[in-house]
Amino acid sequence: MTTPPPVSARPLLIAMGDPVGIGPECIVRAFCRGQLQDAVVVGSVQALRRAGQAAGCRPVIASLSPHGGRALAEGWLNLPAGCLPVIEPEGLPPDLASLPWGQTDARAGRASARCIEWAVERLLDGQGSALVTAPIQKSAWAAAGIHFPGHTEMLQALCTRPGLSPPDVRMMLTNGELSVVLVTIHQSLRSAIDALSVQGILQTLRIVQDAAKRQGLGQPRIAVAGLNPHAGEGGLFGDEEGRLIAPAIEAARAEGIKASGPYPPDTVFMKARHTAERPGAFDVVVAMTHDHGLIPVKYLGVEHGVNVTLGLPLVRTSPDHGTAFDIAGQGLADPRSLEAAVAWARRAASRSALE
């Protein structure tokens, strides 16, 4: 196996996402705004050209070879200035640019999944610095027979080494004001509550602590949100706080993790929010379920939100929005969340290289 090039000589990889959603438009717009100078897009050349037409921005696209190890970095470094580099993996369905905008299609689902698979393979081989994934359409994955409920679970599986257990991963959504990490993610609320355990909550706190250390951010102040109204009100509204959450916090504190709670989930996010007028009381909030944690972040606006997968052996981020089928192909896509995801991945990759 060849020695990977230094991080500064590796491109940031952007998976195209669903080709009939707004992902390709956001990518092209971000490039035309000068935000993707260090990136290579993994996707369909024709789909990206069509997205450029829709966005009113038509960059020169340079098609790189998908073959070879160091060829990725070498091809990227030798590109003429002002070109958008695109690698089209083997196995993409043909004629993606002819699919109707904004409609679930199995071919689009297969394409978005294949781009992620190819990008992860290269990152695990040391040929890229980080991964940014444009939005996928979960119904298109289901139509294509891809049985992952989302990016997080797929990335976990792709990063599992033969014969070893999958890495413990967690979803974090972050913007300039609030960062939230989830204990459970893509499952029904009923099954998520049943899935809560002392060990799962404790492991989430460990993952948050480890991620902060890897990024050179020191010891984060972690607020743990309760599950029930008023954090259970001493057991009147539920026992999960006393039976599961508090013991996990106590165990984490014994390990030197700066965690506290459980706090009422209807107020803790306000206390943690950082604004120009008032710094937040916490750096991260750990929430028990998907919507408990993500509603507050998304309410602040998806324009600068970033989805980060913690616990992977690579840096991965994503915009804090979906495929927006209702506006796809109309030139209305806003690239700011994608740009924020790129900036976050770029910083994280640089900090990781300093370890």
Residue 158 sits in a domain whose CATH number is: 3.40.718.10
CA 25-324-309 angle, 5° bins = 85
Phi-psi region of 336 (alpha: psi -120 to 50; beta: other; left: phi over 0): alpha
This prediction has a pTM of 0.88
Sheet holding 12-15, edge to edge: 60-64, 83-87, 39-42, 12-15, 131-133, 316-319, 306-310, 170-174, 179-182, 284-287, 222-225, 259-263
Is residue 17 a part of any domain in this protein? yes
Averaged over successive runs of 10 residues, the pLDDT of the chain (355 residues) comes to: 58 97 97 93 96 92 72 67 90 94 97 96 93 97 93 93 90 92 93 96 96 82 96 90 97 97 95 93 96 91 86 94 96 95 92 55
Please classify residue 100 by burial: count the beta carbons closer than 10 Å to its beta carbon, then call 0-12 exposed, 13-18 middle and 19+ buried. exposed
Which tokens belong to 27? 């990518």
Please classify residue 352 by burial: count the beta carbons closer than 10 Å to its beta carbon, then call 0-12 exposed, 13-18 middle and 19+ buried. middle
Is residue 291 a part of any domain in this protein? no
CB-based contacts of 63, cutoff 8 Å, min separation 6? 45, 86, 87, 88
pLDDT attached to residue 334: 95
Is residue 110 a part of any domain in this protein? yes
Is residue 279 a part of any domain in this protein? no
Handedness of CA 250, 254, 255, 260 (dihedral sign): positive
Is residue 22 a part of any domain in this protein? yes
Q: Which of 36, 115, 121 is nearest to 82 (CA)?
A: 36
CB 104 within 8 A of CB 137: yes
Task: Identify the domain containing residue 100 by its residue range.
Answer: 1-162
Distance of CA 2 to the CA centre of its chain: 28
Is residue 63 a part of any domain in this protein? yes
CB 340 within 8 A of CB 304: yes
pLDDT attached to residue 355: 46
Is residue 13 a part of any domain in this protein? yes
Phi, psi of 260 (to 5 degrees): -150, 160
Number of domains in the chain: 1
Is residue 130 a part of any domain in this protein? yes
Secondary structure of residue 238 in the 3-state scheme = coil
DSSP 51-90: HHHHHT--PEEEEEP---STHHHHHHHTPPTTEEEEE--T
Secondary structure of residue 42 in the 3-state scheme = strand
Residues 58 and 220: their CA atoms lie apart, in Å, by 43
pLDDT attached to residue 67: 67
